Every structure is written in C-alpha cells, then in structure tokens.
Structure 1
Amino acid sequence: MRPFTNPNAQWRPAVLGQRIAVALFSLVLSTAAADWPQYRGPTHDGVCTEKILTQWPANGLRQIWKAPLTDGFSSFAVGQGLAVTMVKRSVEGADREVCVALDAQTGQERWAVPLGIAKYEKGGDTGTPANNGGDGPRSTPSIDGGRVYATTAQLGLYCLDAASGRQIWSRDLVRQNGGQNIGWENAASPLIDGDLLFVMGGGAGQALLGIDKHDGHVVWKGEDDPITHATPVVVTLLGVRQVIFFTQKGLVGVERATGQVLWRYRFPYSVSSAASPVVGGDIVYCSCGYGVGAGAARISRIGNQFTATGLWRLPAKTLNSHWSTPVYKDGCLYGLFGFKKFGTCPFQCVELATGRIVWSKDGFGPGGCVRVGDQVLVLGDAGELVLTQATPRGYTELARTKALTGKCWSTPAISNGHLYIRSTKEGVCLDISPGRVAHR
C-alpha cells in the first residue's frame, strides 16, 4: 500500500498550528495593550503596561497622524476609538474651552463641544522667549463606558456621549456645591474609579466630592480644605481602596466608597501645585512650587486606624515638582523637577524614602513623563521626546527625537502601540509598538 501523501492533509495541521500561534500571539497583544482613558493612564500613576519600541529610527518614530490644535495644556485621553483633549478656540467671537474628540487612528476631528469661557486670570503664557504663550485649558478629559467626562477651568463638570459629543449631564461645582475657584483656575482632571468620579471644588463641608458618573449626583462630600490644581489618585493602600487628594492643607486619604477620612499628612501652602501625589509601597510623595518644596509620608495601619508619619521635608531650592508629576519604580521617583525652569529643568532620580537626589540631568523643561516597564518616556516642554532607563545607577538615554513644535506642558499617553502627545499648536500620534521594523 502506498503511504498517504495527500498534500492537503499535510498542509492543514501546519496551517492550524500557525493559526493557533497567531491567535495566541493576538491574545497576548490584546491583554498587554490597553486604552489610556484618563490623565496619567488607567491606573492613575503614569505607568504603561505595554511593550514599546526602544531602538528608534534615526529619523524618529513613524508618524501616524498630525492634527492642528489650538492653545491648551490638556493631555490626551484615549479610548472608544477616540483621542480626546481640551483646547481654547474662538466660538462666535468669544474664546471658549472646547472638548475635542479626534479619531484615534486618523486624527480626524469627530466632534468638538464648547463647554465654558476660556479666561485665565493669572495666565500660563510664560516660557522661554522662543517658546511662550499658548495659554488654555489645563484639565484632561476622561473616557469611560461610552462617555467622556471633562472639567473646565471654571469648575464646570460635563458628561458627554462619546459617539456624538451630546451632553448627558453637567454640574457647576461652584454654584451647586458652594465652591470657589482658585488662582490660575482649575487644572485638575476628573478621576474615575468604578461608578464614582472624584473632584475637588466644593465649599465648606464639601471640598472633596465623590460623584456618581452615571447621572452626576453627589454620592459623598466632605472636608473644608482649600483646593489646589492637583488631580487626585486612587490606590489600594494597606488593603483599603482609597482616594488621595492633595489640598492646600496637605495630603488626605479618604475611603473610596464613602469619603471617610482615613489619614492626613500636614503639608500646608497657599499657592499652586498641579503635581499629583505619587505612591510607592506605603510611602506617598507630594510637592509644590513657589518656595514650598517637597515631602513624603509613610502610611501605617493597625486594625482600622491609619497613621501618616512624615519621613522627610525638603525646601524648594533643593527639590520640588511644579506641575510635572514623577513616576515611581523600585524605591525611586523619576521625573522633571524644578520651578519655572523653562527649557532647562532637570530629569532626576530621587530616592523616595529619603528625598536624596540620586542623579540629575539638565536640559528638559517642565513637560511630562510616563513609565513603560524599565524605561521612562519624557516629553520636554519644547517637544523633545526622550526615552531613558529607569535606574538609580545613572542617567542612561536610549533614544531621542524632536516630536512637536509649540509648548508642551502635558503628559504623554500610550495606547495600543500608539503614542499620543500634544503641544499648544498640534497633536501627534506616533507608532511606538515593538513589532515595527525601524527603517533608517
């Protein structure tokens, strides 16, 4: 008998194996890739879980699209097929803050919704002589469950349909919650965790707010803290899910579902900070410019009792974060530190437990950064994009490219192998996926 030699019978298992391999590979990609649905990412800490390209082409990362944008310091949020940000535009002869949704794949504008007046009493027009101006919205929208949530400089909170931009509900935090805006106007972004949205802006007894994201009603409210520009963070700390706000009294950790105060760390100031708290293990870092400085507290728990114990406090001349929030890895902070050092502020490694500056590299300017595994992606204020190694052993630069024109007081967003960054003039989507061949 002749052996069975049907070519189709031999081919099919091979194809099946290939298809299984492709399916498994796709599954790995789908689980590793993620949306970047709000300011500083899905876990509120500036950390991306995707793999990225670490060896960049000599002519820079491949540009997928570039879109003109007008003034603003808002970052991108990416989800639902959209890249959403805030800009200042002239609408019917008046400057307005506008929530803009771009197609995440093409950069084409899908919708734009005016939300409030664009008025900034003290302004953000400063910068180097060659890179100033561009004042506009500071807050970054959030995307969740087919909706976009945006907070204006005048503390208006809006929920929009992600597909059309249609308003679903809105809340005036000043009028409805007895709030008072602050100098330079609001910069904090709406923070979403589960069914709740967290903001500051109410008056006495309601400075901190937990709001139902579905209909905008207040679920919990509390405290009298003067608000600041820093976006809160949500973490599970010592077994309890909590929201950490940075107010003009200092850090306050509250139970996520009820708003019950769990602990406080006294760090008083009366000026501005737009840098969010950073959590590393049981230590929380905070900082403010304008001569205030930086500090950190260790949070402990015995039973249901939480305690915040100050670890260190440094003057502003030694260490401070103005609005650029650092990222954390293995006991160290990595970020852009310094006050009003436009075009020059250093990228530094700081030991979280002590505040000791491990190393410092000048020449970046106050932009933003995110951590991707063992690397930190840094966007300088003049649009220089730099990939560095997150190591205390010394500054190690892996790649660099000029990515944007205009002023970049914003934070990068990474979603599904794409990098979304913006300036006061334009937004850019770059291919940063590791599977791309780097053509030189």
Structure 2
Amino acid sequence: MRVYPTMPDLTVQTPDQNNVSPAAPLQPRQRWHWPVAILLLTAAGTMLGNRLADSRTGQVIAIFYGIGLMIVGLSGWWLFFSGGTRTRRWLVFGSVLLGITVAGIAAVREVWFEGDMRPHVRFHWDPPSPAELAQRWLSENAPASPLGQQTPERLANDSAGFATTAQQLTFAADDWTRYCGPGSRREIAGNRPQTDWKQNPPKLLWRHPVGEAWSSVCIAGNLLWTQEQRATQECTVCYNAETGAELWRREDSARYQTAQGGVGPRSTPTVTQAAVYSLGATGILNALHPTSGKLLWQRNICSDAGSEMVEWGMSGAPLVWQNTLIVDAGGLNGKAVIAYDRSSGEIVWASGSHKAGYAAPRIEMIDDKPVLLVFHGDGLEAMNPDNGQSLWLYPWVNQYKINVAQPMLFGSRVFLSSGYDSGCVLLDPGKLTDVPGGVPRPAEVWPPTRSLKLKFNEAVQLGDYVYGLDDGILACVDVNTGERRWKGGRYKYGHVLLWQDLLLVQAEDGYVALVQADPRRFTEVTRFDALTDRTWNVPAVHRGRLYVRNASEMACFELPLSGS
C-alpha cells in the first residue's frame, strides 16, 4: 500500500476576536528635519548679515541676532512641534534651561566686551583681571581720603571764580586743562617726536594702578587730574604728574557698571585756576578746588534736568564758557542743556528737549560769532552760549541714538560723524532752511556717506583731511568731497591725536603708534607697548611726556623729541 507524505495544514487560522489585545498607539516620530532647517537658515542669514554689514560692529550684531533667532527657533520647535507628551517636552526644556543657568552662575565671574562688541568670558578659576588687581592694590596702598564727606562751600571771590582759600594754579599755553587738550583740538604742542622708537624708545618714568574708568587726564604744571571708580566710590583724583603719587581724591557714593560699557566714570575733568569740574557717570557734577580737592559745590545734572542717565553713562566733559559751566544733561523738559554759574553752581539758563549725547559740548567761532555746538543723541544743535537760544539743528540719528565724536570746524563748515552705520556729513551753517514749527536746518555740502564712522572715538584734522578710526580701522577722508582716500591699520577702538604731520594712535590693545598724516597713503612709522589691557581712554601729551591710562593702570613716558 502506497504511503503519502503528510500535507501541512493550510487552513487559515482566524483569531478569536474576543481574545485580541488592542495595539499600542503609534508614537509620533521626531521631526528632526525641522531643527536642521532652522540651523541652516539661521546660519545662512547670519552669513548674509555679515556680508552686508560694513563694519566689524555690524558683523558682531548680525552674529548675535543669528544666535538669538536660532535659540528661539529651536526652542519653539522642541516645545510645540517635536512630538512626545507636553509634560516631557517642558520638563526637558526646563531642565536644560536650569542647567545652563546654574552652570553659568557657578562658572562665569565676568563678561566683558571689546569695542566691536565681541564678548569675552572670565571664569571663577581664571586669575584676577588687571582691574581687580588694581582695585586690590588701591584698597591696601592708596592714602586715606579725608575729602569724602565735605559740605559744599562756595567760591567767595569774583564772578570768574578765582579761589583764594588754597594755592592757586598758574597756567601755560600748552597745559592740557580739558578733554583732548587745548581748545579740545586733539593737537599736541611742542617739538616733533623722533620716530626711531626701536633704537631710541620712550622712557618709562612711572606706572601706577588706577581705578576703573574711561576718563582721560588733565595736566597743568606738575598736577594731573582724572576720574576713577574705587569699589563703591566714584572718585576725582589728583596726582603728582612728575611721580604718579596720589595727592588727593574726592569720593562720592555712586557706581556705574554694565557688561558692555564697563565700570566707572567716562567723562574727563575740566580744570581752571578756580576749580576742577568733574562729571560722574550717574550725573554727579562736582566743583572742587584744584590744589586741595575741597568741595566747592555739587549738583546732579540728571536731577536738575528731570532726565534719566543715558544707557552708557553721562560722558560729555563739562565746558567752561566765561562765567558758566555748560553740560549736556538730556531730557524732554526743556532743560537738555544746562549752564551753571561757575562760582555758585546755580542754574543760569537751561534749554532744549533732546536725549543726551556722549560728546563734550564745545564752542566754535562761526562767522566771527561764538557758537555752542551740542551733539545730542538725535542731532547736532547750535546754540547761543550766553542764553541757550537754539540757532539751528541738524537731525542725525542712528539706531541706538549714540553720538560721541565732537563736531569739527573747517572754515565755517561743520563736519560730524558717528558709528553704528551712520557715517559722516559736512554742513554749511551759512545756508539755513526754515523748518515749520522748528529751528532752521543747515544745508549739506555733500550728503551723508559711510566713508568714516566714528563709533566712540575722536578724529583729527590737518588741512582739508580728516583722520580717524573708521569702526576700528584708521582712515583718511577728503573733507571737500567726503571721499575716503585710504584705510589701513586695525587699531580697533582707540584714539588719535595730531602731532604736526604725525598721528599718535592709542590702540585699543594698549600699544601706541606713530602714523604719517599723509592723504596719499597709510604709513605706520613706529610703535611701542605702553599698556597691556583694553584701552578706551584718550591719551595726553604734555611737554614731551606721554600720559596713558586704561581701567587698571596709568603710565607716563618721556618721548624722544627732535632737537632735544
């Protein structure tokens, strides 16, 4: 009998519908293509912003915007479109945010910025900064100050304010008694310097720790004045210019500090035979006896104007005009510019409604008449210095309403410039256009151009040319046309002084260079290392001696001079 192999059972098994377990719900997949797209788009936008920006500051701002948009985009994707339960998404997001915050607080001691807004982080395990070391030294070695708690005493003299309560000063024509030197022109008097600094370098006479500030110095005879922040005290300090020894200091309980703006005062004292006038970052205006430091009177310009301190601190150095002291206080209460009686501190006149600028007010002779020029945050105003009457106004506003560089006079024409992509322009006050309901507006000799952008640096003039740091790079501009002749030398956000046919350039990194003031080409002649940290302070040269400072130290060098 034939045996057949057993066939497999091909019967389709039908499951019992009553015994089937329900399938688990499908979990939505993570949509990882969205974060990749966000990263690519923000990276592309940042690169485009960098290409379109015509300054280093603009490039850094583009990076900040790109990073911010990336964080917002990724956070939005994770919280609303990444999938998963709402509890899980928010728990992960909160944990990451909390972790970053705790780690940052635990690790970061300080964040500071260069002039182009590039950030730097100083961690708790890093060695002390130069400013911290200076503060430590000053707290242990600076002489005790008896001048902190004085009551105001008026100058009981004539209306010009010549004091008789202490030793009087005698001034010479080359004394550096105000911001940027005689006439605030940024010009150095005396013999031309020798330029072989490699073979014959400047000689260090003294070096001294100082408190944080972006103030410059004033020098008359053998006395030097500057402003500093020492712990919680805002100080006006007098030094022996020959030795660097501290002679006296005035202390006020005030402190300005921001990550981008740094710490301490930013204005520079103005010195007369009667008084040294100093303006603090929070608006405290002191009149002090120049040789003793005694308090003569005190005001707060922000309180007097009913204004708020501007974002980066009150900066414009006080201007002495005849019997008055003029400041740019800002505000919208008709007191943006205030003139005080030099002797008593009483308000003589107040005028205008503008946001305060950061430039020092100045007097120029235009058409043989003294004109007060005030560079507000929203434009340049010409005023009668005797009564505050507005003569004309040229609107000039950048994104942040930050105008710092003093206007410059070429004949009867006025050159002005500012950073943040503003540029520069040349005005003719002899040609005014009436503005309905406002003050006249001067004509433009040539329209605004971006050939020179003075962010928070002053420029100098020689002949028909302006030399200044165009967002950190030295440039030469023909004032007749507004065209840039050359651009070279990345000194970053330092300062420039004119010494005959040479430019003395204080670089942000601390070194000092000499450059030919030649409209044909850029030529750096020599340089030497004067300071070693971020330097935004204007240098001074007095009788062949170079005085430099930053937020941690001040130094004096004997410069080799031609014919000496």
TM over 0.5, shorter chain:
yes
**In the alignment, is residue 108 of structure 1 matched against residue 245 of structure 2?**
yes
**In the alignment, is residue 275 of structure 1 matched against residue 416 of structure 2?**
no
Q: Secondary structure at the match of 1:157?
A: strand
**Residue correspondence of structure 1 range 85-100 to structure 2 within 5 A:** 85-90=226-231, 95-100=232-237
- Structure 1 residue 89, shift from structure 2 partner: 0.9
Residue aligning to 1:188: 316
Residue aligning to 1:221: 350
**Residue correspondence of structure 1 range 392-407 to structure 2 within 5 A:** 392-407=519-534
State whether residues 54 and 387 of structure 1, in contact with CA within 8 Å, keep that contact through their aligned partners in structure 2: no
Paired with 1:200 and 1:177, the residues of 2 have a C-alpha distance of 10
Which letter does structure 1 place at the counterpart of 2:207?
Answer: K
Cα 1:176–1:322 shift into 2, 3 Å? same
Which letter does structure 2 place at the counterpart of 1:40?
Answer: C
Cα 1:363–1:198 shift into 2, 3 Å? same
Paired with 2:454 and 2:467, the residues of 1 have a C-alpha distance of 11
**Residue correspondence of structure 1 range 141-160 to structure 2 within 5 A:** 141-160=269-288
- Structure 1 residue 287, shift from structure 2 partner: 2.4
State whether residues 194 and 560 of structure 2, in contact with CA within 8 Å, keep that contact through their aligned partners in structure 1: no
Q: Secondary structure at the match of 2:303?
A: helix
- Structure 1 residue 248, shift from structure 2 partner: 2.3
Residue aligning to 1:417: 544
Paired with 2:300 and 2:276, the residues of 1 have a C-alpha distance of 17
- Structure 1 residue 414, shift from structure 2 partner: 1.7
Q: Secondary structure at the match of 1:37?
A: coil
Q: Secondary structure at the match of 2:256?
A: coil
Paired with 1:390 and 1:31, the residues of 2 have a C-alpha distance of 30
Residue aligning to 2:443: 309
CA deviation vs aligned residue, 1:10-61 (integer Å, no higher than 9, x gap)? xxxxxxxxxxxxxxxxxxxx99961101111121121223223232432621
**Residue correspondence of structure 1 range 17-416 to structure 2 within 5 A:** 34-58=174-198, 60-90=201-231, 95-121=232-258, 123-125=260-262, 135-203=263-331, 204-269=333-398, 270-300=400-430, 308-314=442-448, 318-338=451-471, 345-416=472-543
> Which structure's residues are more often helix, by fraction?
2
Which letter does structure 2 place at the counterpart of 1:102?
Answer: Y
Paired with 1:51 and 1:392, the residues of 2 have a C-alpha distance of 22
Paired with 1:86 and 1:158, the residues of 2 have a C-alpha distance of 11
- Structure 1 residue 313, shift from structure 2 partner: 4.1
Q: If you compute each CA radius of gyration, which structure gives the higher value, 1 or 2?
A: 2
State whether residues 316 and 360 of structure 2, in contact with CA within 8 Å, keep that contact through their aligned partners in structure 1: yes
Greater RCO structure (CA 8 Å; 6+ sep)? 1
- Structure 1 residue 283, shift from structure 2 partner: 2.2
Paired with 1:70 and 1:103, the residues of 2 have a C-alpha distance of 16
Aligned identity (percent) is 27
Paired with 1:331 and 1:39, the residues of 2 have a C-alpha distance of 24
Cα 1:77–1:402 shift into 2, 3 Å? same
> Which structure's residues are more often strand, by fraction?
1
Gaps of 5+ in 1: 1-29, 126-134, 339-344
CA deviation vs aligned residue, 1:124-161 (integer Å, no higher than 9, x gap)? 24xxxxxxxxx332111111114211001111110011
Q: Secondary structure at the match of 2:204?
A: strand
Aligned residues: 386
Q: Secondary structure at the match of 1:105?
A: coil
Cα 1:351–1:291 shift into 2, 3 Å? same
Q: Secondary structure at the match of 2:302?
A: helix
Residue aligning to 2:153: none
Which letter does structure 2 place at the counterpart of 1:364?
Answer: Y
CA deviation vs aligned residue, 1:237-280 (integer Å, no higher than 9, x gap)? 11011111101231111122222222222213443222221222
State which drifts further: 237-246 or 396-405: 396-405
State which drifts further: 173-182 or 233-242: 173-182
- Structure 1 residue 420, shift from structure 2 partner: 1.2
Q: Secondary structure at the match of 2:182?
A: coil
TM-score, normalisation: structure 2: 0.65
Q: Secondary structure at the match of 1:359?
A: strand
Root-mean-square deviation (Å): 2.4
Q: Secondary structure at the match of 1:175?
A: helix
Gaps of 5+ in 2: 1-169, 433-438
State whether residues 188 and 541 of structure 2, in contact with CA within 8 Å, keep that contact through their aligned partners in structure 1: yes
State whether residues 146 and 163 of structure 1, in contact with CA within 8 Å, keep that contact through their aligned partners in structure 2: no
